[in-house]
Structure 1
Amino acid sequence: MQNQGIGTWVQRRRERSRTDIALVFRDQSITYGELADRIDRLASALADRGVSAGDRVAYLGNNHPSFLETLFACGILGAIFVPLNTRLAPPEIEFMLEDSGATTLVTQEELTDLARAGAWSTGVTRRINVGGPPATHHEQYEAVLASATGSGPKVAVELDDPAIILYTSGTTGRPKGAVLTHGNLTWNCFNALVDYGITAKERVLLISPMFHVASLSMGALPVLLQGGLVILHEKFDPGAVLTTVEADRVTMLSGVPTTFQMLQEHPDFASTDISSLEHLTCGGSTMPERMLQAYEERGLAFSCGYGMTETSPGATAMPPQMSLKKMGSSGIAHFFTDVKIVDEQGETLPPGEIGEIWVRGPNVIKEYWRRPDATAEAIVDGWFRSGDLGHFDEDGYIYVSDRLKDMIISGGENIYSAEVEAIIMELAPIAAVALIGVPDDRWGEVPWAIVNLKPGAELSAEEILDHLRGRLAKYKIPKKVEFIDELPRTASGKVRKAELRKRYGMPAGS
């Protein structure tokens, strides 16, 4: 039997790069040989504990070697890896564990309380803690590895087999599990290798969490595939990033505009030697001109791209030399990916005309986890309907102009209006609510709740926010609540959010 999936990548790398450093974490360096051996032992130990092909193994933690070890061990077994956002609230974690059907949860010790609260009523029967002492209610990660009796079973894994379930919030208020296959991840890496020129000499510093697909699929995976070096930072700290870039001669950084802005605004930015950087990739939203110019002055150019979880995530990429010339654009379609702009009937539109962005390619998901309804709505004849609006210019460069799904992107995190609105509407005094994104200098945009109370009802902004705290991630909670006598609506009764965004579209806090 042959495993064609990503699970064998490090093992194949061991044959070619055994003594080369694969990972650096804190003061620890791990070679490809050592990493492959640890993955083998983890796969064997998980198999001994009943994990087999198709089973879901969840991971709750920040950037750490165990994240990648668990991912690749799952790939060896044909199991499905389910990374969870550490910023979520317990009810959100609970839903994802229950929906995915995960029975094993690997978590970092410092997140034990969140893991316990999120998993207590789900089908999780085994928890493995990374770090911390042994306990009666969970196993300790290193002890699990030490218990391995072999290198794990030989499982046939095809490129079309599911590798990861990544949850992305939906317009109905319930997250959907995007099923990324081994082929999706592989072809996304091919796109990155071709369009970014990633080589074995790469030294990538991961400044964004790997539970986001961009950090994992555009940073860690293509560099490991090529035999390069991956440096893991647990959390983003601008000063620590600048120190690492200079000391370790980092060649590649990937982030969102907010992270690059915080780096540029740090007092050490001007004095730090960043000449080793060759690849700066940015997604999530358009990079402001002043930021592009600040880095250009240091001899660096960005490759800003457009994508989403469902495209693994790359759909388009900007050639760095075109960043200033094509200001505001998200580049051209990735090498092995097709992108088109269509009207409401699905007909392709010519350059200059705004329509919905559709994406097709081997990096595009085939389904949402156990959601055939959502899959049928999102995928038409192999094309993924992004729900985003944009247009091409005459040179084939795409410009993203708006979001049909009312998604708010705050500091690189996706916030879907319907999810937050549904919880706010649980409060009896509220007649209607609309969540909108308001521009913010640091986070790009932040959520505001525009609330219409029932006649004679009383409710304070603080009471609304208290209702949300503990149930939603902090970044999803509105930064401000505005009360309004009546929400503007269309003739069909839909809220005119564009009008609200125009009305309240001043910098937050002003």
Structure 2
Amino acid sequence: MNLSDQLSITAKSYPKKAAYVFQDKETSYMELEGSVRKLASRLEQLGYKKGDHVALIAGNSPYYVIGLYGALRLGLVVIPINPLYTAHEMTYILKNGDVKAVITMDVLLEKFEAIADQLPEVNHYISCESGAQLNFEEHHLSVKLKSFTRLVEEGSIEFNAPKLEDEDLAIILYTSGTTGKPKGAMLSHKNLYSNAKDVADYLTINGEDRVIAALPMFHVFCLTVALNAPLMNGGTVLIMPKFSPQEVFRIADELQATVFAGVPTMYNYLLYSVKENKDDFKTIRLCISGGAAMPVALLREFEKAFEVQLSEGYGLSEAAPVTCFNPLDRPRKPGSIGTSIVNVENKVVDEYGEEVEIGEVGELIVRGPNVMQGYYKMPEETEVALKEGWLYTGDMARMDDEGYFYIVDRKKDMIIVGGYNVYPREVEEVLYAHPNVTEAAVVGVPDPGTGEAVMSYAVVDDPSVTEENLIEFCKGQLVKYKVPSIIEFLDELPKNTTGKILRRNLREKAVQ
């Protein structure tokens, strides 16, 4: 089974049910299925065949949903790319990913004009109309230009799809490239389908659910949890072009949303708008957090303010992405990423790959049908990440005696102060517990005496709070070597498009 076939099954079961809502307009499952078939048929007529690579560079919209499922229906390999990337960043991925067609927004065409000469293998640029009234004739790409809308209109509903095998490559997800060049995680149809199904089952996402998709769809968190999982069981996806706290509250209220998925930064923004909007979340039964560690103080405050359960989970692109979630049928543990979801194994090991004792810190490794096939054209990196069927995540974690896992920190982010290990998250949790700290991030900086020292960046809501205040606060809860020696205040912390704090940028800033 695969996502494409599952969509066909769902469309037959719930033909008139809303598959998604975009800008307050509903599209039924049968309408979505028809568009997917038509797009796949026209792509085939243009010469594309099973195994060819196509880039999908669009924001949250019906274009993205139809483009993704239409390409998968034909057996194409989809490479989602952040539309905010620079031309330079896109060029690397398009060349490394052997892309033959690009599905993108018309407002991005100028960006591709600048790099088209470097991409001779790209046969078509399929343009999604934004309403900007652009003149295609002005583009020297016009010979390769196709209209997405026209392709769908001209396609055949009678399209006969090729047979897709479980192990056929479906998506290549390029990592954010925090070190070196981005790596393309190869995910098969089995990887994607199994994780969407297991997440839907674990979180009881069903046909009655209306899931807000505010996270960017090019990111695997949104792709699996807020798009593929609800479509698996006949749920409705409430598509937001971009995150806005007020728009989240409006959609939740007017469209009676039941599930919201976001990163901690989003929950922070929502919490600060709670006074005027608390009742708008009355139909929400579950909030899901991932993408970065959720500070315990934020989790507790959010649940108290909105009277809704917030379940934190864990995943990574290489695992399609989810491996753990806090279960809904037994107590949730604040600060934990939960237990292994069905069909996925997690364990904590030492540097030799041996499982450590309960409560001890080691590297989290993962095994299951969701684990990637490897990195595209990077055999050496693949050998480092995949060993004897296990994916080595690079995250430091511990497991308690009830099977709940706790992420301590990224392996590479660990700070060593005079021989002692300091995990930034532990210090950040203390800072978040301060009533005036709204955001915090901790990095290691060179120190001639101890090798490294702990430095923190913080955002506060009271200008009278001083560095000395926060250091004294930390001293009351942390051993001396873990206490930040420097705290710098910022108006906001740098983040990527999914809201994850860019610790690398802060580390570079600290040593300038």
TM-score between both structures, scaled by the size of structure 2: 0.79
Distance 1:446 1:149, change over 3 A: farther
Judge conservation of contact 1:104–1:124 (CA < 8 Å) in 2. yes
Which residue identity is paired with 2:136? A
Q: Residue 459 of structure 1 corresponds to which residue in structure 2?
A: none
Q: Residue 70 of structure 1 corresponds to which residue in structure 2?
A: 67
1:14 is displaced (CA, Å) by 1.9
1:338 is displaced (CA, Å) by 0.3
1:227 is displaced (CA, Å) by 0.7
The CA deviation string for residues 479-501 of structure 1, in whole angstroms up to 9 with x for no partner, is: xxxxxxxx4589xxxx9666566
Judge conservation of contact 2:55–2:94 (CA < 8 Å) in 1. yes
Paired positions, count? 438
Following TM superposition, the consecutive aligned residue runs of length 4 or more in structure 1 with deviations greater than 6 angstroms are 436-440
Q: Distance in 2 between matches of 1:373 and 1:88?
A: 26
Superposition pairs for residues 366-445 of structure 1, below 5 Å? 366-406=373-413, 445=441
Distance 1:102 1:392, change over 3 A: same
SS of the equivalent of 2:342 reads coil
Distance 1:15 1:240, change over 3 A: same
Superposition pairs for residues 58-137 of structure 1, below 5 Å? 58-117=55-114, 119-122=116-119, 123-131=121-129, 132-133=133-134, 135-136=136-137, 137=142
1:23 is displaced (CA, Å) by 1.0
Q: Residue 465 of structure 2 corresponds to which residue in structure 1?
A: none
The CA deviation string for residues 388-443 of structure 1, in whole angstroms up to 9 with x for no partner, is: 111111221111112123499xxxxxxxxxxxxxxxxxxxxxxxxxxx99969666
Between stretches 9-18 and 338-347, larger displacement belongs to 9-18
Q: Distance in 2 between matches of 1:261 and 1:178?
A: 30
Q: Distance in 2 between matches of 1:281 and 1:65?
A: 23
* Counterpart pick for 2:372 among 354, 360, 365: 365
1:322 is displaced (CA, Å) by 6.5
Distance 1:341 1:327, change over 3 A: same
* Counterpart pick for 2:15 among 14, 18, 39: 18
Q: CA RMSD in A?
A: 2.7
Superposition pairs for residues 497-508 of structure 1, below 5 Å? 502-504=484-486, 506-508=488-490
Which residue identity is paired with 1:306? Y
- Is 1:329 the counterpart of 2:336 in the alignment? yes
Q: Residue 291 of structure 1 corresponds to which residue in structure 2?
A: 298
Judge conservation of contact 1:47–1:152 (CA < 8 Å) in 2. no
Distance 1:497 1:49, change over 3 A: farther
Q: Residue 340 of structure 1 corresponds to which residue in structure 2?
A: 347
Q: Residue 308 of structure 2 corresponds to which residue in structure 1?
A: 300
Q: Residue 9 of structure 1 corresponds to which residue in structure 2?
A: 6
Distance 1:105 1:377, change over 3 A: same
Which residue identity is paired with 1:89? T
1:45 is displaced (CA, Å) by 0.7
- Is 1:319 the counterpart of 2:327 in the alignment? yes
Judge conservation of contact 2:363–2:393 (CA < 8 Å) in 1. yes
Which residue identity is paired with 2:9? R
Superposition pairs for residues 443-454 of structure 1, below 5 Å? 445=441
Q: Residue 39 of structure 1 corresponds to which residue in structure 2?
A: 36
Q: Distance in 2 between matches of 1:28 and 1:509?
A: 38
The CA deviation string for residues 235-262 of structure 1, in whole angstroms up to 9 with x for no partner, is: 0011011011011110011010100111
Q: Residue 418 of structure 2 corresponds to which residue in structure 1?
A: none
Which residue identity is paired with 1:179? M
1:272 is displaced (CA, Å) by 3.1
1:446 is displaced (CA, Å) by 8.8
Which residue identity is paired with 1:309? S
Q: Residue 456 of structure 1 corresponds to which residue in structure 2?
A: none
Q: Residue 187 of structure 2 corresponds to which residue in structure 1?
A: 180
Distance 1:496 1:321, change over 3 A: farther
Between stretches 249-258 and 163-172, larger displacement belongs to 163-172
Q: Distance in 2 between matches of 1:339 and 1:143?
A: 46
Which residue identity is paired with 1:162? L
Q: Distance in 1 between matches of 2:342 and 2:197?
A: 8
1:372 is displaced (CA, Å) by 1.2
Judge conservation of contact 2:37–2:158 (CA < 8 Å) in 1. yes
TM-score between both structures, scaled by the size of structure 1: 0.80
SS of the equivalent of 2:280 reads coil
Distance 1:289 1:320, change over 3 A: farther
Distance 1:178 1:333, change over 3 A: same
Distance 1:271 1:331, change over 3 A: closer
Percent sequence identity is 30
Q: Distance in 1 between matches of 2:93 and 2:190?
A: 23
SS of the equivalent of 1:306 reads strand
1:10 is displaced (CA, Å) by 2.1
* Counterpart pick for 1:217 among 221, 224, 232: 224
Which residue identity is paired with 1:135? F
Judge conservation of contact 1:354–1:389 (CA < 8 Å) in 2. yes
Q: Residue 254 of structure 2 corresponds to which residue in structure 1?
A: 247
Which residue identity is paired with 1:360? R
Between stretches 347-356 and 161-170, larger displacement belongs to 161-170
Distance 1:41 1:504, change over 3 A: farther
Judge conservation of contact 1:93–1:118 (CA < 8 Å) in 2. no
Q: Distance in 1 between matches of 2:175 and 2:123?
A: 25
Which residue identity is paired with 2:324? T
Segments of structure 1 that go 5 or more residues without pairing to the other structure are 409-435, 451-486
Which residue identity is paired with 1:64? S
- Is 1:53 the counterpart of 2:50 in the alignment? yes
Distance 1:226 1:42, change over 3 A: same
Q: Distance in 1 between matches of 2:342 and 2:286?
A: 17
* Counterpart pick for 1:165 among 164, 168, 172: 172
